Structure 1
Amino acid sequence: MSQNLQDAYIVAATRTPIGKSGRGVFRHTRPEALLGAALQGALRQVPGLDPAAIEDAIVGCAMPEGEQGLNIARVAVLLAGLPNSVGGVTVNRFCASGLTAVQMAADRIRVGEADVMIAAGVESMSSIPMTGVRPSFSPDIFLRDENIGIAYGMGLTAEKVAQQWKVSREDQDAFALASHQKALAAIASGQFRNEITPVEVTHRAPDLASGEVRTRQQTVDTDEGPRPDTSLEGLAKLRPVFAAPKNAQGKPTGMGSVTAGNSSQTSDGAGVLILASERAVKSHGLTPLARFVSFASKGVPPEIMGIGPKVAIPAALKSAGLSLSDLGWIELNEAFAAQALAVMRDLELNPDVVNPLGGAIALGHPLGATGAIRAATVVHALRRNQLKYGMVTMCVGTGQGAAGIFERV
């Protein structure tokens, strides 16, 4: 690190539980309410911090439109009760939006422009579908062959990765089963307890007999995605849902291998981190949980976007002056089992340190929130297990990879 930069410390890290989109527990909860709950949860972790000291809130969101539009960062900051002086800006790097928010907040501190920042991510896939409300691709995407990959559906890119890196259907299903098993074990042993802020949900239903609307309150404190009934036999019965992969001549090479069971779940959730300079840590009596070390984003061909971490991870390690062996914990977002396995095999990642508590196949993937959510997981896991360095990494639609490194202090 340059001598001209100061350190940025994470002093609070939390997330909401992750709900299933469309039919899950947060299906009627607006995204700014999810983000607001996480913001309030983060502030409770730093009782000595005057909220007026927070200079800005940077929030990642992959589909910032509809209910997530109108600069949801600023809207949520105000609705969460923070002072009017706290700004808000929404950023979008698709699945790496939340992690990019952490990087941007840390950089403001590292260059001396701020002392206390909020970094967050939010996504309600119950509210906004995967491609947004009214997607419109540039015609130029389809005019030149090299651009067509930009418009590929995510599942088709996973099929191409599975084909090119020779990841079998059996291996993908086994990886998916392990994700559920690890997540269920983590929930049962309470390993997510310190990182989750419970969310109060109000359910409303008409009472036809009385003509009144009945309300029921529910405290949600557990991730909704992990399934105890997941089995290899059940996963094997699921049909591939994307087109069969093709060879260079455009001929099908057999059945596809990517299914709903070995892909990430669409989800609703939010995550929040509060970052501070050393000066702010001392003046507000804060306890640093971790230090932000480095970040890297790199591009790859859009049609194999899932391989993005393969190039982002080495770049983040180089920037930090570290090697893979220094990482005691890696949160590798499981967009698809095919791409996660391809990255792990290509970089020879130690499977024992990759997603020890399960990943997005079991826990869910609320797009722009995932980077902030998994950063909270890493921060608490490093402290709980007395590990030095951890990483959050993911692939990104249209062909990118991102990786961020954290150090326990």
Structure 2
Amino acid sequence: MKRDAVIVSAVRTAIGKQGGALASIPAHLYGGEVIKEAIKRANINPELIDDVILGNVLSGGGNIARLTALQGGLSVNIPGLTVDRQCGSGINAVALAAQAIQSGAGDIYVAGGIESMSRAPHQYERAEQAYSSLPPRYRKTLLAPEEIGNPAMGTTAENLAKKYEITRKEQDEFSLRSQQRMARAIEEGRFDEQIVPISIPQRKGEPILFNKDEHPRPNTTLAALAKLNPAFERDGTVTAGSSSGLNDAASALVIMSREKAEELGLQPLATIKGSTVAGVDPNIMGIGPVPATKKLMEKLGLSLADMDIIELNEAFASQVIACDRELEFDPEKLNVNGGAIAHGHPLGATGAILITKAVYELKRSAGRYALITACIGGGQGISLVIEREPN
């Protein structure tokens, strides 16, 4: 019989801008801090952890999950696994932990995501001949074969805008709403409980404490958005203002079987009900949440009407609007505290951050179900549903 996988703690760093507060710190250092805090809040013996699973996209090699686990104070006995499903990596890490628990492979996992886009390494093509005098060439990441289509992410957003006839005005209005909702959430302190403060060393003086998302632009106006030039095509409609940011952050959740939580006397925050992935045309990768969500709703016997909170990663405004055209979201349930256009998109960490946001928003609003979903470069979508635990 399938076992329940429950979330007993969920935390994140504040989200830093590229080149901002977290840029001076290697990702595994602030990632280690969120792992420490997640375990502390769960109030468990770290030696009981079966594995640490972290999503990451841009570390440039190695196994950053293992590195971060050790940095977080875990003993050498605790293994680590890094997951790369691009923008869906953080969700996938949590899903893998849940699946391991449901199958009986283990009882307690730390799962989440970690990214430093500020410190992402550049990659170059290796010379085809030994001792070649040719200069190195910058390597473009292939997410799909060129003959199928390996477009830049901004191009895929433009493709969706054209396909679904999404206007510039619609994109600007959606982007403004994201900023306004994020600003309200920050003002009301909705993120305070979930954020782990990070101490940032300074060249002179005392360290500063980083505990507030620094990417939002609370003073954004529709007029200011309307003045921005197209970012990806000369006559396009997608701008920097209607796109997610480049960011640094980490998030960690402690997930365990319901039986283990009961044995340890712990009160779960939420149950992971299930997850799905789906593939789509890489040229319109942003539509990925649509088949993934339809597949998951059918699998769980639920509908979007059952969802109280929907966290859809805002890679681009056009991408969210395109998904909305297909799925017809309730706007009062969709990204109620703003999304990645406002808080940014630290790739491998984003999915786990969205799950963390959903956990706390369900708690605040006393909702029951939350859907967390994201599009994925290369043409995929991923969706996951959680259910709030009654007090």
Contact 1:59–1:89 at 8 Å: present in 2 too?
yes
Aligned partners of 2:287, 2:145: CA distance in 1, in Å?
Answer: 21
Note the C-alpha offset of 1:285. Answer: 1.7
**Deviations 1:99-156 (CA, angstroms, capped at 9, x unpaired):** 0000000011000110101111011000116x867635569934x3xx1x2x200000
Aligned partners of 1:168, 1:218: CA distance in 2, in Å?
Answer: 42
TM-aligned CA distance change 1:139 to 1:396, over 3 Å: closer
2:128 equivalent in structure 1: none
Q: How does 1:4-43 map to 2 (within 5 A)?
A: 4-22=1-19, 24-43=20-39
Aligned partners of 1:34, 1:81: CA distance in 2, in Å?
Answer: 12
1:248 equivalent in structure 2: none
> Does the residue aligned with 2:241 lie in a helix, a strand or coil?
coil
Note the C-alpha offset of 1:228. Answer: 2.2
Match of 1:371 among 337, 345, 351: 351
Aligned partners of 2:16, 2:333: CA distance in 1, in Å?
Answer: 25
> Does the residue aligned with 2:74 lie in a helix, a strand or coil?
coil
Give the partner amino acid of 2:194.
Answer: E
TM-aligned CA distance change 1:347 to 1:83, over 3 Å: same
Aligned partners of 1:354, 1:88: CA distance in 2, in Å?
Answer: 33
Match of 2:40 among 37, 44, 57: 44
Give the partner amino acid of 1:41.
Answer: E
Give the partner amino acid of 2:48.
Answer: A
Give the partner amino acid of 1:62.
Answer: V
Q: How does 1:300-379 map to 2 (within 5 A)?
A: 300-379=280-359
Contact 1:63–1:132 at 8 Å: present in 2 too?
no
Note the C-alpha offset of 1:215. Answer: 4.2
Give the partner amino acid of 1:13.
Answer: A
Aligned partners of 2:365, 2:80: CA distance in 1, in Å?
Answer: 34
Q: 2:365 aligned with 1:380, yes or no? A: no
- How many residues are aligned here? 376
Contact 1:344–1:351 at 8 Å: present in 2 too?
no
1:63 equivalent in structure 2: 58
Give the partner amino acid of 1:240.
Answer: P
Aligned partners of 1:285, 1:313: CA distance in 2, in Å?
Answer: 34
1:282 equivalent in structure 2: 262
Contact 2:308–2:370 at 8 Å: present in 1 too?
yes
**Deviations 1:327-357 (CA, angstroms, capped at 9, x unpaired):** 0000000000000011012111111100000
Q: How does 1:165-314 map to 2 (within 5 A)?
A: 165-204=164-203, 214-244=204-234, 255-314=235-294
Aligned partners of 2:236, 2:385: CA distance in 1, in Å?
Answer: 34
Aligned partners of 1:203, 1:404: CA distance in 2, in Å?
Answer: 39
Note the C-alpha offset of 1:229. Answer: 2.2
1:207 equivalent in structure 2: none
Percent identity, aligned pairs only, is: 41
> Does the residue aligned with 2:42 lie in a helix, a strand or coil?
coil
TM-aligned CA distance change 1:360 to 1:139, over 3 Å: closer
Aligned partners of 1:356, 1:33: CA distance in 2, in Å?
Answer: 31
**Deviations 1:276-302 (CA, angstroms, capped at 9, x unpaired):** 112210222211000000101101100
> Does the residue aligned with 1:94 lie in a helix, a strand or coil?
coil
Which segments of structure 1 move beyond 2 Å, counting only runs of 4 or more? Answer: 131-142
**Deviations 1:173-200 (CA, angstroms, capped at 9, x unpaired):** 1111111110010000011112111111
Note the C-alpha offset of 1:389. Answer: 0.3
Contact 1:55–1:85 at 8 Å: present in 2 too?
no
> Does the residue aligned with 2:111 lie in a helix, a strand or coil?
strand
Give the partner amino acid of 1:25.
Answer: A
Q: 2:75 aligned with 1:78, yes or no? A: no
Note the C-alpha offset of 1:86. Answer: 1.2
Aligned partners of 2:279, 2:145: CA distance in 1, in Å?
Answer: 17
Q: 2:110 aligned with 1:124, yes or no? A: no
1:106 equivalent in structure 2: 98
Contact 2:143–2:378 at 8 Å: present in 1 too?
no
> Does the residue aligned with 2:9 lie in a helix, a strand or coil?
strand
> Does the residue aligned with 2:249 lie in a helix, a strand or coil?
strand
1:135 equivalent in structure 2: 139
Aligned partners of 2:231, 2:388: CA distance in 1, in Å?
Answer: 41
Aligned partners of 1:140, 1:94: CA distance in 2, in Å?
Answer: 13
> Could you tell me the TM-score, scaled by structure 2's length?
0.93
Contact 1:57–1:88 at 8 Å: present in 2 too?
yes
Give the partner amino acid of 2:274.
Answer: S
Give the alignment's Cα RMSD to 1 decimal. Answer: 1.5
Give the partner amino acid of 1:37.
Answer: E
Aligned partners of 1:139, 1:239: CA distance in 2, in Å?
Answer: 27
Give the partner amino acid of 1:110.
Answer: Q
Contact 1:55–1:116 at 8 Å: present in 2 too?
yes
> Does the residue aligned with 2:374 lie in a helix, a strand or coil?
strand
> Could you tell me the TM-score, scaled by structure 1's length?
0.89
Query: Which structure 2 residue ranges, 5 or more long, are not aligned?
Result: 125-137
Aligned partners of 1:372, 1:139: CA distance in 2, in Å?
Answer: 22
